[in-house]
Structure 1
């Protein structure tokens, strides 16, 4: 009997030890391994929109390999550009190829895709850009009297630096300059004919409206105001502005323009009044210095003078 009891106790003890050992082992399932693997892939290779197919079912991951330079597509794009966009593209090409240290390789690929003048522009762009900045900073435009001469000097300087492609590069600037030349003629017409001449001018330049910043009715109004000659009388000026507002502005825009012009006029009058009163004060102080305050030392007078000027400014702008 005792022997039977001993066998039973040993059996129970072995079972308890086995249970204790199994409970300490991690319970790893296929499902947990699968999700852990997916998580690692997702963190290591993030999915981006550019790597998702149109059907949104297959997901591919980015690689460390750089995309090959499509020199044919770049050359076609370059030839179609002009103005500021062309300048931006040339700048970007050199920034990126210098970062990748492969400018020579990319230029070699492009040499057969571009004409000699275009390849010359692209390959020598950094040097030409630096040269143009130097020329532009020393261009004597301020000393030139007529607008025609200024335009001529600018175009000639651009041609000397950039060659025949200067017209492609500076298409925006040349359009502005040519428009300015044409617009200068309407300043010579009678006040009653200004609006009709302006509308005809816009029709001639309709294809360049965006370049001229005149692609909306409100912008056309602002452009017209900038072209008004200074020789107009107040009555003529008011008449032309009213006619332009009826053509290009709605009631809300017209009211805003009037309010803004009144505010500007008030500010200008405030400036005029300030300078007039300041001049009067300085004149009065000059009289004091030569009469009742002539015995004051320079230090005493300067202190008094600055105090009076400062007091005037504080009171005026309260």
Structure 2
């Protein structure tokens, strides 16, 4: 099962390289490992009474749907907690003294810069790291929460009250709808779909970085603005986020069926969090553009 997804293709388990050299027979007896030389039971040199390590060995914990749900809840829950704390830390920008507003705006800018920068770097590390690290996934979630808290505060102040709650509800609705469609319509993910989705994701990320660099020189393409071109890009981003969720569901389903180690639940949780954040930010932009005066 070879993956084109950068989150999963660094994992040997998700690419058909995971091998468990021990299988378990009935009554607790062990079969010989795959590829291991068969032992002659009549040869005394092969007899063994076992070692404490052998006696303590048990079955490897496997990734399950429950373990993915638990890790995803922890990861995304941390994003929400950090976003709420950041929101409260920034304070009220719409009211209060001018000096207070300036201080709060400075705090918002700092939180957005630090959070988005840290989240981007850690997203790259987690995507291309061969062995998934739960600690790095959680640190990523913390930075992502800081960035989302600041971004949400900026949209709430700049546009209208309630836009953040609408985007949150829309994100969960998109998740539930995509999961239902994936299960009920038995969606099958092919290599072309994977390649297109990952290429499009990197394409949008690349365009975002290009827009950031151009903005330093006072140039704007409008792709990530609040005009018609920005709306089209946000809708395309939302659709791409749905496709990313489909890829995530496909890998979780196949990973569980393949009996991957339980630690891979963190990799799946990281991927699901990235997809949900992607959907949320594009929904924010769509709502903001559609409700502009």
* TM-score normalised by the chain length of structure 2: 0.27
Structure ranking higher in helix proportion: 1
More contact order relative to length (CA 8 Å, sep ≥ 6): 2
Bigger Rg, structure 1 or 2: 1
